[in-house]
């Protein structure tokens, strides 16, 4: 065909421009909306506020026009009146929405409004443009659900389940029919993934396929619901809602322990705890009468907020931020509402006022936690541990009572000022194995020169003029020439003195060791017991935590002898100081030796520099605070209490060691006296406004029966609450169909999507309450419906009419979640560890992910690849660090869990395929599956069924067989080194399995694990 002449081409272009201008009007006019059925409050006002409010709202009235208020709509803008009643074609708003009169199409810079929406606006104008005053009608979600009658349908045989009646009625209305039932293989895998999060094993699959009873599928579903893995599947959703993580978030992102809450959720679902109880215990378990330990653990839901432990912050700011986070999580999880939008002003689109927000805020504002620390926490003792802890606590109370009884006697006999009976001695010799030791004018010793990992000092001092030797003192003295101007040689100014020995050197050179009794210090770093410096048992020695600037002062270690020694005039004392080898280069830098003949003083704990100055004052010259400090010191250091204190310290140390082994979990606890509650102007914690009391939003009806979290929780699960039941059944629906009846589970308000099947949603909500909040019963109802059991095959007609399967004319098919993808591979390979609960684990991840500038805050905070069964735990148990999340999960759309997430988006990227091919865990799964395939009678069929749940076609088998042949040829051509490297990466170490054949089978397994069908629930 010849090309059209230029003149005709130009005419074509002009014609297209004209058509392009009139098509929107034609499309809108063709929709034929009935004006009588258009509701301004429901169909028009929310659209104008949400779609036009960015330019014509509270933050700016472009062209003098406000579309977020009724007065603004009535008034119009600089261009004139917005509408002409009964004349939509002449109305300015319609012309702007259609882009007529040569003006830009509105909303400018955004996608045009759907034709159906514009048609509703035109119908409203053509009906007279009546504006309904606020409060005369409610959004559908704020009206309590009323149980609708089951609709009549044309095919009762298909509609065996009430769900099917609603779905079929909608399909009939749209001129559609349901799809045929999916195969048994598909149903088995679909239901298993939705209920347990795991695909069926081949044994489970074959048992179901062999069951020919009419109710075989229902029996299979019941087995899945009774599986302990059901609780894990359900808990996965709650980890997102509760923003669960194993670290605090923010800059340092230090670790926390709260996995016990995750385990409580798993157990609660497995016990089928009614949803109302499940709600109450999570929000207010601590406020129940005589709460059990489990009920306290449950309150971890609201302790999953991030904590900011940075220096220099205002703690109150982040306490308020944590409270606001709880409001958002609670409102999103149970109400499906964006209540947080009312934090700074009244909600722009929904009937929540700022007063509603801060009245809701008041329920949480009385909690004891401060936004910085993990406290309050509880310890999770076993029965045996609890018994030991009780005994030790009783022992501690007994020793504390003895000390209290001795208080009058001790305070009456206050010891003399500390320095009076200590004599500083100048060493006659100071030697070191590595350093050079210099004796200074003040008799102190300064180390310089070489700084070995663990130095040994020998100091010899005279004893002449001393009637008896009862104890010795070592003063660690700060020096400007040492690191951080401290007293240690380490770069942070610290030292670790591990062991002290004392020997008498006689005139003839012989030596007599002295038995040392007690060693006490004015201050010692946590976990560093000064007493361990003179014992042969375990211990770390004496250290002063000089990396904290406030500790870079003079510190003292006092050591008493078991009995006094009376020296001769020629005796000398040799003191040996050994430094710790576990912490290299932690040697003393400057120190001084003193001796005393006062047996009482030698056993007294040295005072700090500040306390020494206080006790040197006469009692009548001390302030009240100083007197208290002095009395506390005398009680801690009195020799009469030394034995009791030693037993007390030992008991406390044993209790501390026990507590260190016991896991903890963060819980909620309220203050005895609530904080005052105010509206915070513009959401700023520094600008409190009008006072408020705890109260629930007026637009939702009802009232809390008490002004605390327990009253709030009970209000949430009151059957009259319009949202809670709807939100949860919608979540269950999304779990099974990939899309909720309300496609925006985080927003049931005017900005969210309306329900695709409103009557079905209300029927499910009322059924949920009627079944006494039985989650398993509702999930069973959904997965046994004919709607759920449909084939997911998409015909061209269905794709054209319903691309998102909103009308449910076919079964669900969508990519699995991140954790489920990992679990599918682990199950198919047989590597899955089925252990339930326990601390989070660290499966392999690429190196360097955790490198950050704050790693020194916790030397244990390193990613260490798990070994053994922990390497193959379910994805639910993977350690979650907010600032450096597990990369595989991020790649498959898991969020960082900084905030509550009600819905995960699903993306597709090449990184996902690369992850499945190369991630160490998936390679190891391919390795084990490949070996199994090599040993099976029909390896390709075995591997394909293990991954997808169905038998492959002959064509699929042929393709995979060719993959195996090609891989085998490649491995043989490249030689044994390439095969060995590949097998090692796949976790194959057994000598008999290191073959080219196995390598080829593993390549096939890797291919099957990467199939879209493997990671898709269909």
With a cut of 90, say whether residue 696 has pLDDT above it: yes
Q: For residue 667, what pLDDT band results from cuts at 50, 70 and 90?
A: very high
Q: What is the pLDDT of residues 752-773, one digit of tens each?
A: 899 999 999 999 999 999 999 9
Backbone Cα Rg of the chain: 38
Tell me, what's the pLDDT at 10? 37
CA 899 to CA 868: how far, in whole Å?
Answer: 33
% of the chain surpassing 90 pLDDT: 72
pLDDT digits (tens, 9 = 90+) for 431-447: 999 999 999 999 999 99
Name the 3-class secondary structure at 290.
coil
Contact in structure between 321 and 250 (CB atoms under 8 Å): no
Which residues are CB-contacts of 120 (< 8 A; sequence separation ≥ 6)? 33, 38, 43, 44, 47
pLDDT, one tens digit per residue, over 212-261 is 999 999 999 999 999 999 999 999 999 999 999 999 999 889 999 999 99
Average pLDDT over residues 490-499: 95
Joined tokens for residue 402: 């003895």
Say which residue, 409 or 957, is predicted with more confidence.
957
* Statement: residue 997 has pLDDT above 50: yes
What is the rounded CA–CA span in Å between residue 192 and residue 205?
10
CA–chain centroid gap for 791, Å, is 37
Which position has the token pair 């003149």?
A: 7
Residue 310: predicted pLDDT = 85
Is it true that the peptide bond before 107 is cis, omega within 30 degrees of 0? yes
Tokens describing residue 61:
């009235």
Write the Ramachandran bin of 146: left for phi over 0, alpha for psi from -120 to 50, otherwise beta.
Answer: beta
Tokens of 176: 């559609």
**Is residue 114 classed as helix, strand or coil in its secondary structure?**
coil
Interatomic CA distance for residues 1013 and 933, integer angstroms: 19
Confidence of residue 851 (pLDDT cuts 50, 70, 90): confident
Count of C-beta atoms within a 10 Å radius of residue 930:
30
Give yes or no for residue 959 having a pLDDT over 90.
yes
Distance, in Å, from the CA atom of 963 to the CA atom of 942, rounded to the nearest integer, reads 16
- Identify whether the C-beta of residue 555 lies closer than 8 Å to the C-beta of residue 523: yes
User: Would you state the pLDDT for residue 19?
Assistant: 35
- Token pair belonging to 927: 């390795």
d(CA 397, CA 484): 41
Question: Does residue 101 register a pLDDT over 60?
Answer: yes
More confident residue, 420 or 153: 153
Local confidence band at 573 (pLDDT 50, 70, 90 cut-offs): very high
Three-state secondary structure of 274-292: CHHHHHHHHHHHHHCCCCC
What's the predicted TM-score (pTM) here? 0.79
Residue 853's pLDDT band, with cuts at 50, 70 and 90, is very low
Task: Report CA dihedral (484, 487, 490, 491) to the nearest 10 degrees.
Answer: 0
DSSP state of 181: B
Is residue 406 classed as helix, strand or coil in its secondary structure?
helix
**Lowest-confidence segment of 102-111, 409-418, 696-705, 861-870 by average pLDDT:** 409-418
pLDDT at 581 over 80: no
Residue in the block written with tokens 């409610």: 138
- CA distances (Å), origin 270, targets 199, 227, 274: 18, 8, 11
The per-residue pLDDT of the chain, averaged, comes to 90
Nearest to 31, CA basis, from 116, 126, 139, 125: 116
Q: How confident is the model at residue 516 (pLDDT cuts 50, 70, 90)?
A: very high
Mean pLDDT within 663-679: 97
pLDDT for residue 138: 79
Residue pair 470/564 in contact by the 8 Å Cβ criterion: yes
The answer to whether 182 and 789 have CB atoms below 8 angstroms apart is yes
At residue 25, the pLDDT reads 37
CA–CA dist 648, 320 (Å, integer) = 40
Identify the weakest region by mean pLDDT among 201-210, 634-643, 888-897, 1002-1011: 634-643
Q: How far apart are the first and last CA of the chain?
A: 47
Is the pLDDT at 372 greater than 60? The verdict is yes
Identify whether the C-beta of residue 728 lies closer than 8 Å to the C-beta of residue 335: no
Q: Is the pLDDT of residue 132 over 70?
A: no
Kindly indicate the confidence band of residue 630, based on its pLDDT and cuts at 50, 70 and 90.
confident
> Lowest mean pLDDT: which of 84-88, 150-154, 277-281, 881-885?
84-88
User: Which residue, among 833, 837, 836, 845, has the nearest Cα to 870 in the 3D structure?
Assistant: 833
Nearest Cα to Cα of residue 527 among 539, 519, 516, 535: 539
Q: What is residue 43's predicted lDDT score, i.e. its pLDDT?
A: 79
What is the pLDDT averaged over residues 343-363? 93
What is the structure's pLDDT at 680? 96
Residue 7 has pLDDT above 50, yes or no: no
Judged by average pLDDT, the poorest of 369-373, 615-619, 621-625 is 615-619
- Residue 643 confidence class, pLDDT cut points 50, 70, 90: confident
Structure tokens at 149: 């009658």
**∠ CA 967-969-974, rounded to 5°:** 95
Residue 609: per-residue pLDDT:
79
């Amino acid at each position: 065909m010849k090309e059209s002449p230029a003149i005709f081409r130009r005419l074509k272009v002009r014609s297209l421009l004209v058509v392009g201008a009139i098509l929107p009007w034609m499309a809108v006019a063709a929709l034929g909306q009935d004006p009588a059925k258009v509701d301004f409050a429901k169909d028009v006002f929310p659209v104008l506020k949400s779609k036009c409010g960015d330019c014509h709202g509270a933050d700016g009235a472009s062209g003098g026009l406000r579309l977020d208020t009724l007065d603004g709509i009535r008034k119009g803008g600089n261009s004139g009146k917005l509408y002409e009643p009964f004349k939509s074609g002449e109305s300015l708003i319609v012309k702007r929405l259609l882009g007529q009169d040569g003006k830009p199409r509105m909303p400018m810079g955004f996608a045009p409004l759907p034709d159906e929406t514009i048609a509703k606006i035109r119908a409203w104008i053509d009906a007279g443009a009546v504006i309904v005053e606020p409060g005369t009608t409610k959004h559908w979600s704020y009206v309590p659900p009323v149980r609708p009658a089951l609709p009549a349908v044309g095919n009762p045989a298909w509609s065996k389940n009430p769900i099917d009646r609603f779905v079929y009625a909608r399909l009939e209305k749209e001129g559609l029919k349901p799809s045929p039932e999916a195969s048994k293989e598909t149903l088995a895998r679909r239901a298993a993934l939705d209920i347990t999060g795991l695909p069926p094993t081949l044994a489970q699959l074959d048992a179901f396929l062999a069951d020919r009873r009419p109710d075989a599928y229902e029996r299979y579903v019941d087995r899945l619901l009774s599986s302990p893995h059901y609780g894990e599947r359900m808990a996965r959703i709650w980890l997102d809602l509760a923003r669960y993580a194993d670290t605090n978030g923010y800059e340092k992102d230090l670790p926390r322990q709260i996995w016990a809450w995750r385990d409580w959720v798993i157990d609660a679902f497995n016990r089928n705890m009614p949803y109302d109880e499940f709600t109450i215990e999570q929000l207010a378990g601590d406020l129940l009468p005589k709460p059990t330990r489990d009920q306290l653990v449950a309150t971890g839901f609201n302790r999953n907020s991030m904590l900011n432990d940075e220096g220099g912050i205002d703690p109150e700011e982040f306490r308020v931020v944590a409270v606001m986070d709880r409001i958002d999580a609670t409102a999103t999880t149970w109400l499906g509402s964006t209540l947080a939008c009312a934090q700074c002003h009244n909600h722009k689109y929904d009937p929540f006022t700022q007063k509603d927000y801060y009245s809701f805020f008041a329920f949480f504002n009385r909690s004891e936690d401060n936004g910085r620390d993990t406290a309050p926490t509880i310890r999770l003792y076993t029965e045996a541990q609890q018994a030991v802890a009780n005994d030790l606590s009783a022992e501690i109370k007994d020793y504390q009572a003895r000390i209290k009884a001795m208080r009058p006697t001790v305070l009456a006999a206050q010891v003399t000022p500390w320095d009076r009976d200590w004599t500083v001695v100048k060493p006659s010799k100071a030697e070191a194995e590595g350093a050079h030791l210099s004796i200074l004018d003040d008799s102190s010793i300064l180390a310089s020169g070489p700084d070995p990992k663990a130095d040994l000092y020998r100091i010899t001092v005279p004893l002449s003029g001393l009637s008896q030797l009862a104890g010795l003192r070592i003063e660690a003295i700060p020096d400007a020439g040492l690191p951080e101007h401290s007293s240690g040689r380490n770069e942070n100014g610290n030292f670790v003195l591990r062991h002290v020995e004392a020997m008498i050197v006689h005139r003839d050179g012989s030596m007599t060791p002295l038995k040392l009794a007690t060693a006490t210090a004015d201050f010692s770093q946590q976990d560093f017991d000064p007493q361990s410096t003179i014992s042969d048992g375990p211990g770390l020695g004496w250290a002063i935590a000089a990396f904290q600037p406030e500790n870079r002062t003079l510190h003292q270690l006092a050591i008493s002898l078991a009995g006094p020694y009376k020296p001769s005039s020629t005796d000398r004392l040799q003191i040996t100081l050994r430094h710790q080898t576990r912490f290299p280069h932690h040697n003393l830098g400057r120190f001084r030796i003193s001796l005393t003949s006062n047996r009482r003083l030698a056993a007294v704990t040295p005072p700090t520099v500040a306390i020494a100055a206080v006790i040197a004052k006469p009692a009548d010259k001390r302030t009240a605070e100083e007197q208290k400090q002095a009395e506390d010191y005398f009680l801690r250091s009195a020799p009469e209490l030394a034995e009791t204190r030693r037993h007390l310290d030992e008991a406390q140390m044993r209790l501390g060691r026990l507590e260190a082994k016991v896991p903890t979990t963060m819980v909620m606890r309220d203050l005895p006296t609530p904080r005052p509650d105010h509206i915070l102007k513009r959401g700023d914690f520094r600008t409190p406004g009008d006072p408020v009391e705890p109260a629930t939003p007026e637009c939702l009806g009802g009232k809390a029966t008490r002004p605390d979290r327990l009253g709030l929780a009970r209000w949430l699960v009151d059957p009259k609450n319009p949202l809670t039941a709807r939100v949860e059944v919608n979540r269950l629906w999304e779990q099974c169909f990939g899309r909720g009846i309300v496609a925006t589970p985080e927003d049931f308000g005017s900005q969210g999507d309306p329900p695709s099947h409103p009557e079905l949603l209300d029927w499910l909500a009322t059924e949920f309450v009627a079944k006494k909040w039985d989650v398993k019963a509702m999930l069973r109802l959904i997965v046994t419906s004919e709607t759920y059991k449909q084939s997911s095959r998409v015909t061209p007609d269905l794709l054209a009419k319903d691309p998102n399967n909103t009308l449910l004319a076919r079964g669900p098919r969508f990519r699995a979640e991140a954790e489920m993808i990992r679990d599918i591979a682990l199950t198919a390979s047989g590597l899955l560890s089925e252990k339930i609960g326990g601390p989070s684990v660290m499966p392999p991840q690429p190196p360097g992910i955790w490198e950050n500038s704050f790693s020194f805050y916790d030397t244990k905070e390193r990613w260490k690849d798990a070994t053994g069964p922990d390497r193959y735990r379910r994805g639910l148990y993977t350690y979650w660090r907010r600032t450096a999340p597990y990369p595989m999960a991020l790649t498959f759309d898991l969020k960082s869990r900084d905030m509550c997430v009600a819905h995960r988006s699903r993306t597709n990227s090449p990184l996902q395929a690369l992850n499945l091919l190369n991630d160490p865990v998936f390679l190891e799964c391919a390795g084990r599956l490949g070996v199994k395939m090599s040993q099976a009678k029909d390896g390709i069929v075995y591997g394909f069924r293990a991954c997808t749940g169905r038998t492959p076609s002959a064509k699929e088998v042929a393709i995979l067989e060719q993959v195996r042949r090609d891989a085998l040829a490649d491995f043989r051509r490249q030689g044994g080194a390439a095969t060995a490297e590949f097998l090692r990466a796949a976790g194959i170490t057994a000598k008999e399995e290191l073959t080219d054949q196995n390598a080829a089978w593993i390549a096939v397994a890797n291919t099957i694990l990467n199939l879209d069908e493997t990671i898709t629930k269909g």
